[in-house]
């Protein structure tokens, strides 16, 4: 097979590769340690994996014409996921390169409760271990506990390796339904990643006798190897929402083969076991007779209204903007992501980034705070438009990072879906916001969002 040379420039680095004809450029970059941000999973719909052709650029694709300004196309900007190596090429990386080290909140309230470990019969281990697993679309977090003493022995986290198929849940679901092979790979990726975290926590994984897992409906179905076809197409019903219990030997996890794996039940097709886990925590930390609203903001926003008499839940299709996808300079909550924007009173705006790294993009909380701050400074009108003195392209937060009018529109649509769902739940219950004792925000948003 004929080979061609691909020369890649990234910042001050230069690399030349010999490649077979027809190789996808985005795959080449990923295979050689350059992971461009691709929230859409390589479908071309996010417009993030931008490269600049230093040699003659190919004809732009429909996806590029939709997601890249004509001026940029004229200057050789293309998407790495849309083009293959068909001749000797020279390119420069223009998109956001994802960083390692997602931010997680590992500290919090530790509740004192009576320990009643569920250890399967026939297992006799001096210090049996239990593992709690949070399967997030973006991040995996596991905590290891001694089931005799109740002591937490450690916590580990890592980014969800399924992100190569897309950072938002919609892209992940599309991959799982379009190819049985991809669905299997998605399952293997998550199990392998959990096992890696387990082995990092303990040298004796076979002492783990009980694993409890929580995640959204798509994540748990992929983990269990279940089809989600009926979940993502009409009638949009999850095949399984009840409690799932597996034997260790059947789970693929590094644990005692006769141990037990418990996957928390979903409340509905789009309200998963992660919300069930949130409700268990709320039951412990909030007054028993409290009336509260529990919200988990994401591509699919889950909302629960809990009163002393009843509970009711619904979900809102907020779209991927809350996870940093679907916006011009959006990214996950990684080092360098703008998480807040302040006006310092001296006529200047100051961006706050995760880990205080140089600005790379805007994550979900950064989007919310940026729009709120600009609105307070009367640079965004009540109907969501920039005032005339802001350039047409948008408000520049940093040299290469800006908030566009399209970003505000995407945020308005997400906020509208969430607000309508919240209003409907309260209205149908005969309640108003003033009747709520608490508003509970789950996940990272609950930590980073300013009240």
Q: Which tens digit of pLDDT belongs to each residue from 228-280?
A: 999 988 888 999 999 999 999 999 999 999 999 999 999 999 999 999 999 99
Closest CA to 194 of 251, 124, 235: 251
Other beta carbons less than 10 A from residue 355's beta carbon: 12
Same domain (yes/no): 31, 76: yes
| Same domain, yes or no: 43 and 162 | no
Query: Based on the domain organization, do 182 and 294 belong to the same domain?
Result: no
Is residue 121 domain-resident? no
* Separation of alpha carbons 220 and 241, rounded Å: 10
Burial class (CB in 10 A: 0-12, 13-18, 19+), 407: buried
Q: How many CB atoms lie under 10 A from the CB of residue 171?
A: 25
Q: Which residues pair with 20 in a beta bridge?
A: 3
Same domain, 148 and 227: yes
pLDDT at 105: 59
Question: What was the pLDDT predicted at 72?
Answer: 87
Range of the domain at 58: 3-93
Chain centroid to CA 437: 29
Two structure tokens written together for 408: 């505000």
- Do residues 439 and 307 share a domain? yes
Residue 435's pLDDT is 97
Q: Residue 49's pLDDT is what?
A: 86
Question: How many domains are contained in the chain?
Answer: 3
Report yes or no on 122 lying in a domain.
no
Q: Are residues 152 and 81 in the same domain?
A: no
Cα separation of 243 and 263, whole Å?
Answer: 6
The continuous run of DSSP H or E covering 415 comes out as helix 405-428
Same domain for 428 and 325: yes
Q: Strand 300-306 to strand 311-317: parallel, antiparallel, or no bridges (unpaired)?
A: antiparallel
Strands 129-135 and 3-10, sheet pairing: unpaired
Give the domain-ending residue among 278, 304, 327.
278
Instruction: Give the per-residue pLDDT at 323.
Output: 80
Q: What is the pLDDT of residue 106?
A: 57
What does the alpha-carbon distance between residue 145 and residue 99 come to, in Å, rounded to a whole number? 30
Domain shared by 187 and 224, yes or no: yes
Q: Is the peptide bond before 252 cis (omega within 30 degrees of 0)?
A: no
| Residue 241 and residue 267 in contact, taking contact as beta carbons nearer than 8 Å | yes
In a domain, 315, yes or no: yes
Q: Tokens 């609105």 appear where?
A: 375
**Residue 199 confidence (pLDDT):** 96
For the chain, counts of helices (H) and of strands (E): 12, 20
What pLDDT, in 10s, does the model give residues 385-418? 999 999 989 999 998 899 999 999 999 999 999 9
**Stated pTM of the model:** 0.80
Residue 109 lies in a domain: no
For residues 361 and 327, what is the distance between their CA atoms, to the nearest angstrom? 10
Same domain, 395 and 413: yes
How high is the pLDDT of residue 190?
97
| pLDDT of res. 41 | 73
What CATH number does the domain containing 38 carry?
Answer: 3.10.20.30
- 80: in domain: yes
Give the dihedral sign, CA 77/80/81/87.
Answer: positive
Cα distance between residue 398 and residue 413, in whole Å? 25
Smallest Cα–Cα separation from 322: which of 68, 162, 138? 138
Q: So what's the pLDDT on residue 239?
A: 93
278, 311, 344 — which closes off a domain? 278
d(CA 246, CA 120): 12
> What tens-digit pLDDT sequence spans the chain (451 residues)?
677 788 888 777 888 888 888 888 888 887 877 777 777 777 787 788 889 999 889 999 998 888 888 888 999 999 988 999 888 888 988 876 665 555 555 556 666 666 677 778 778 888 999 999 999 888 899 999 999 888 999 999 888 899 888 877 888 898 999 999 999 999 999 999 999 999 999 999 999 999 999 999 999 999 999 999 999 888 889 999 999 999 999 999 999 999 999 999 999 999 999 999 999 999 989 999 999 999 998 888 999 999 999 999 999 988 888 888 778 898 888 888 999 999 987 789 999 998 889 998 999 999 999 999 999 999 999 999 999 999 989 999 998 899 999 999 999 999 999 999 999 999 999 999 999 999 999 877 777 787 7
What pLDDT sits at residue 97?
A: 66
CATH number where 176 lies: 3.30.420.480
Tell me, yes or no, whether 267 lies in a domain.
yes
């Amino acid at each position: 097979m004929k080979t061609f040379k691909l020369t890649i420039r990234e910042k001050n680095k230069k690399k030349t590769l010999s490649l077979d004809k027809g190789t996808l450029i985005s795959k080449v970059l990923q295979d050689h340690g350059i992971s461009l941000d691709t929230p859409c999973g390589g479908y071309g719909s996010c417009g993030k994996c931008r490269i600049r052709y230093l040699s003659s650029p190919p004809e732009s694709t429909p996806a590029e014409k939709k997601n890249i300004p004509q001026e940029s196309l004229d200057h050789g900007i293309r998407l790495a996921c849309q083009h293959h190596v068909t001749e000797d090429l020279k390119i420069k990386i223009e998109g956001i390169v994802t960083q390692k080290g997602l931010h997680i909140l590992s500290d919090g309230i530790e509740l004192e409760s009576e320990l009643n470990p569920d250890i399967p019969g026939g297992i006799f281990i001096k210090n049996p271990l239990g593992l709690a697993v949070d399967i997030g679309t973006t991040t995996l977090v596991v905590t290891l506990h001694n089931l005799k003493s109740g002591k937490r022995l450690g916590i580990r986290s890592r980014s969800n390796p399924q992100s190569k198929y897309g950072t938002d849940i919609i892209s992940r679901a599309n991959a799982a339904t379009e190819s049985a092979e991809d669905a299997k790979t998605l399952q293997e990726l998550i199990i392998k990643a959990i096992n890696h975290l387990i082995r990092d926590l303990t040298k004796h994984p076979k002492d783990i006798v009980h694993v409890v897992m929580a995640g959204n409906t798509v994540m748990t179905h992929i983990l269990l190897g279940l089809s989600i076809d009926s979940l993502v197409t009409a009638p949009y019903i999850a095949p399984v929402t009840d409690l799932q219990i597996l034997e260790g030997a059947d789970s693929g996890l590094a644990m005692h083969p006769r141990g037990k794996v418990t996957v928390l039940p979903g409340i509905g097709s789009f309200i998963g076991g992660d919300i069930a886990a949130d409700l268990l925590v709320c039951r412990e930390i909030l007054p028993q007779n409290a009336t509260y609203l529990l919200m988990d903001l994401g591509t699919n926003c889950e909302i629960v209204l809990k009163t002393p008499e009843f509970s009711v839940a619904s979900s809102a299709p907020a779209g991927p903007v809350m996870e940093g996808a679907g916006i011009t300079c959006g990214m996950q909550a990684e080092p360098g992501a703008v998480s807040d924007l302040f006006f310092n009173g001296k006529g200047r705006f100051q961006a706050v980034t995760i880990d205080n790294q140089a600005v790379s993009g805007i994550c979900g909380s950064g989007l919310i705070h940026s729009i709120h701050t600009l609105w307070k400074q009367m640079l965004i009108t009540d109907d969501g438009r920039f005032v005339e003195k802001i350039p047409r392209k948008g408000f520049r937060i940093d040299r290469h990072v800006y908030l566009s009018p399209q970003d505000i529109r995407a945020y308005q649509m997400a906020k509208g879906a969430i607000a309508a769902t919240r209003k409907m739940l309260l209205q149908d219950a005969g309640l108003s916001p003033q009747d709520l004792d608490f508003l509970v925000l789950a996940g990272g948003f609950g930590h980073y969002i300013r009240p």
